[in-house]
Amino acid sequence: MEHIISVTVENKFGVLSRVAGLFSGRGFNIESLSVAPTLDPSMSQMTIVTSGDERIIEQIVKQLNKLIDVIKVVDLNEAEFVSRETAIIKVHTKDADRAEALRIVDIFRANVIDSTPGTYTIEVSGDPKKIEAIIHLLQPLGIKELVRTGRVAVAREPVRPAAIQAKKIARD
Protein backbone atom coordinates (compact mmCIF):
# COMPACT_ATOMS: atom_id res chain seq x y z
CA MET A 1 0.00 0.00 0.00
CA GLU A 2 1.22 3.50 -0.83
CA HIS A 3 2.07 5.81 2.08
CA ILE A 4 2.96 9.48 2.20
CA ILE A 5 5.39 10.33 4.99
CA SER A 6 5.96 13.94 6.03
CA VAL A 7 9.36 14.54 7.63
CA THR A 8 10.48 17.82 9.19
CA VAL A 9 14.27 17.98 9.34
CA GLU A 10 17.00 20.43 10.21
CA ASN A 11 18.06 22.29 7.08
CA LYS A 12 21.65 21.04 7.12
CA PHE A 13 24.15 19.61 4.68
CA GLY A 14 23.82 15.83 4.25
CA VAL A 15 20.36 15.32 5.78
CA LEU A 16 18.79 14.33 2.46
CA SER A 17 21.61 11.87 1.86
CA ARG A 18 21.10 10.25 5.29
CA VAL A 19 17.34 9.92 4.76
CA ALA A 20 17.79 8.44 1.27
CA GLY A 21 20.51 6.14 2.64
CA LEU A 22 18.14 4.87 5.30
CA PHE A 23 15.71 3.77 2.59
CA SER A 24 18.29 2.24 0.25
CA GLY A 25 20.18 0.54 3.08
CA ARG A 26 17.05 -1.36 4.09
CA GLY A 27 15.84 -2.10 0.56
CA PHE A 28 12.85 0.28 0.67
CA ASN A 29 11.87 2.20 -2.45
CA ILE A 30 11.17 5.93 -2.59
CA GLU A 31 8.55 6.49 -5.27
CA SER A 32 8.82 10.28 -5.02
CA LEU A 33 10.62 12.75 -2.81
CA SER A 34 10.12 16.48 -2.45
CA VAL A 35 12.20 18.72 -0.17
CA ALA A 36 12.00 22.46 0.47
CA PRO A 37 12.68 24.91 3.31
CA THR A 38 9.81 25.81 5.65
CA LEU A 39 8.86 29.26 6.92
CA ASP A 40 11.70 28.76 9.39
CA PRO A 41 14.83 28.66 7.18
CA SER A 42 16.60 26.39 9.69
CA MET A 43 14.14 23.56 8.87
CA SER A 44 13.08 21.74 5.71
CA GLN A 45 9.98 19.71 4.93
CA MET A 46 10.31 16.38 3.10
CA THR A 47 7.39 14.59 1.52
CA ILE A 48 8.27 10.96 0.83
CA VAL A 49 5.98 8.63 -1.10
CA THR A 50 6.79 4.97 -0.50
CA SER A 51 4.94 1.69 -0.35
CA GLY A 52 4.77 -1.26 1.97
CA ASP A 53 2.59 -3.01 4.49
CA GLU A 54 1.93 -1.59 7.96
CA ARG A 55 4.96 -3.35 9.46
CA ILE A 56 7.34 -1.89 6.87
CA ILE A 57 5.92 1.63 7.22
CA GLU A 58 6.15 1.39 11.02
CA GLN A 59 9.80 0.35 10.65
CA ILE A 60 10.51 3.26 8.27
CA VAL A 61 8.92 5.77 10.68
CA LYS A 62 10.90 4.38 13.64
CA GLN A 63 14.17 4.46 11.70
CA LEU A 64 13.52 8.03 10.49
CA ASN A 65 12.84 9.14 14.07
CA LYS A 66 16.27 7.78 15.10
CA LEU A 67 18.11 10.09 12.69
CA ILE A 68 19.68 12.98 14.60
CA ASP A 69 18.56 15.77 12.22
CA VAL A 70 14.92 14.60 12.07
CA ILE A 71 12.54 16.78 14.06
CA LYS A 72 9.15 15.18 13.29
CA VAL A 73 7.85 12.22 11.25
CA VAL A 74 4.18 11.81 10.34
CA ASP A 75 2.58 9.02 8.28
CA LEU A 76 -0.10 11.12 6.58
CA ASN A 77 -2.13 8.02 5.72
CA GLU A 78 -3.17 7.84 9.38
CA ALA A 79 -5.37 10.95 8.97
CA GLU A 80 -6.96 13.10 6.29
CA PHE A 81 -4.49 14.91 4.03
CA VAL A 82 -4.31 16.92 0.83
CA SER A 83 -1.68 16.15 -1.81
CA ARG A 84 -0.74 17.64 -5.17
CA GLU A 85 1.78 17.11 -7.93
CA THR A 86 2.93 19.38 -10.74
CA ALA A 87 4.03 18.38 -14.22
CA ILE A 88 5.58 20.38 -17.04
CA ILE A 89 4.92 18.78 -20.41
CA LYS A 90 6.46 19.85 -23.70
CA VAL A 91 4.23 18.75 -26.60
CA HIS A 92 4.94 18.76 -30.33
CA THR A 93 2.26 20.86 -32.00
CA LYS A 94 1.68 20.66 -35.70
CA ASP A 95 -0.73 23.26 -37.05
CA ALA A 96 -3.52 20.67 -37.14
CA ASP A 97 -2.96 19.68 -33.48
CA ARG A 98 -2.60 23.11 -31.82
CA ALA A 99 -6.34 23.56 -31.23
CA GLU A 100 -6.62 20.03 -29.77
CA ALA A 101 -3.71 20.70 -27.40
CA LEU A 102 -5.36 23.93 -26.21
CA ARG A 103 -8.67 22.12 -25.72
CA ILE A 104 -6.97 19.51 -23.50
CA VAL A 105 -5.17 22.28 -21.57
CA ASP A 106 -8.52 24.00 -20.97
CA ILE A 107 -10.29 20.81 -19.83
CA PHE A 108 -7.61 20.14 -17.21
CA ARG A 109 -7.32 23.78 -16.10
CA ALA A 110 -3.67 23.67 -17.09
CA ASN A 111 -1.61 26.55 -18.49
CA VAL A 112 0.50 26.99 -21.57
CA ILE A 113 3.64 28.55 -20.08
CA ASP A 114 5.71 28.66 -23.29
CA SER A 115 4.97 28.45 -26.98
CA THR A 116 7.12 28.09 -30.08
CA PRO A 117 6.00 27.41 -33.65
CA GLY A 118 6.50 23.67 -33.03
CA THR A 119 5.76 23.16 -29.33
CA TYR A 120 3.60 24.09 -26.38
CA THR A 121 4.99 23.79 -22.87
CA ILE A 122 2.15 22.98 -20.48
CA GLU A 123 2.03 23.26 -16.69
CA VAL A 124 -0.57 21.23 -14.78
CA SER A 125 -1.13 20.65 -11.06
CA GLY A 126 -3.42 18.25 -9.28
CA ASP A 127 -3.69 14.77 -7.88
CA PRO A 128 -1.64 12.03 -9.58
CA LYS A 129 -4.68 10.66 -11.44
CA LYS A 130 -5.23 14.06 -13.07
CA ILE A 131 -1.57 14.22 -14.10
CA GLU A 132 -1.73 10.71 -15.57
CA ALA A 133 -4.96 11.54 -17.43
CA ILE A 134 -3.59 14.66 -19.17
CA ILE A 135 -0.38 12.82 -20.09
CA HIS A 136 -2.49 10.02 -21.61
CA LEU A 137 -4.49 12.52 -23.69
CA LEU A 138 -1.40 14.45 -24.84
CA GLN A 139 0.59 11.35 -25.87
CA PRO A 140 -1.04 11.03 -29.32
CA LEU A 141 0.05 14.60 -30.06
CA GLY A 142 3.65 13.68 -29.28
CA ILE A 143 5.16 14.45 -25.89
CA LYS A 144 8.69 15.73 -26.42
CA GLU A 145 9.63 16.13 -22.76
CA LEU A 146 8.00 15.49 -19.37
CA VAL A 147 9.07 16.58 -15.87
CA ARG A 148 7.11 15.78 -12.69
CA THR A 149 7.69 17.17 -9.22
CA GLY A 150 6.60 14.24 -7.14
CA ARG A 151 3.93 14.79 -4.55
CA VAL A 152 3.74 17.31 -1.78
CA ALA A 153 1.21 16.80 0.99
CA VAL A 154 -0.10 18.35 4.18
CA ALA A 155 -2.40 16.99 6.88
CA ARG A 156 -5.89 18.45 7.03
CA GLU A 157 -6.99 20.14 10.22
CA PRO A 158 -9.79 18.28 11.99
CA VAL A 159 -13.23 19.77 11.47
CA ARG A 160 -15.14 20.27 14.70
CA PRO A 161 -18.88 19.64 14.70
CA ALA A 162 -21.02 22.79 14.53
CA ALA A 163 -22.45 22.21 18.06
CA ILE A 164 -18.95 22.34 19.61
CA GLN A 165 -18.09 25.48 17.63
CA ALA A 166 -21.35 27.17 18.76
CA LYS A 167 -20.56 26.40 22.44
CA LYS A 168 -17.07 27.85 22.06
CA ILE A 169 -18.43 31.03 20.47
CA ALA A 170 -21.07 31.36 23.24
CA ARG A 171 -18.34 31.09 25.92
CA ASP A 172 -16.20 33.75 24.25
Contact indicator for 95, 118 with CB cutoff of 8 Å: no
Does residue 164 have a pLDDT over 70? no
Q: Say what the pLDDT of residue 160 is.
A: 73
- What is the helix (H) or strand (E) element at residue 96, kind and residue range? none
Q: Say what the pLDDT of residue 167 is.
A: 57
Average pLDDT over residues 65-73: 93
For the chain, the average pLDDT equals 90
The whole-model pTM stands at 0.79
Does residue 97 have a pLDDT over 70? yes
Average pLDDT over residues 26-37: 91
Single out the residue of 87, 152, 84 nearest to residue 121, CA to CA.
87
Give rounded-to-5 percent helix, strand, coil for the chain: 35, 40, 25
- How many Cβ atoms are within 10 Å of 93's Cβ, its own excluded? 22
Does residue 144 have a pLDDT over 90? yes
Single out the residue of 53, 57, 54, 48 nearest to residue 18, CA to CA.
48
| Digit-coded pLDDT (tens) for 59-68 | 999 999 999 9
In the chain the beta strands, taken as DSSP E runs, fall at: 2-10, 30-37, 43-51, 70-75, 81-92, 111-116, 119-126, 143-148, 152-155
Helix (H, G, I), strand (E, B) or coil at 58: helix
Q: Hey, what's the torsion of the CAs at 9, 11, 16, 22, to 10 degrees?
A: -30
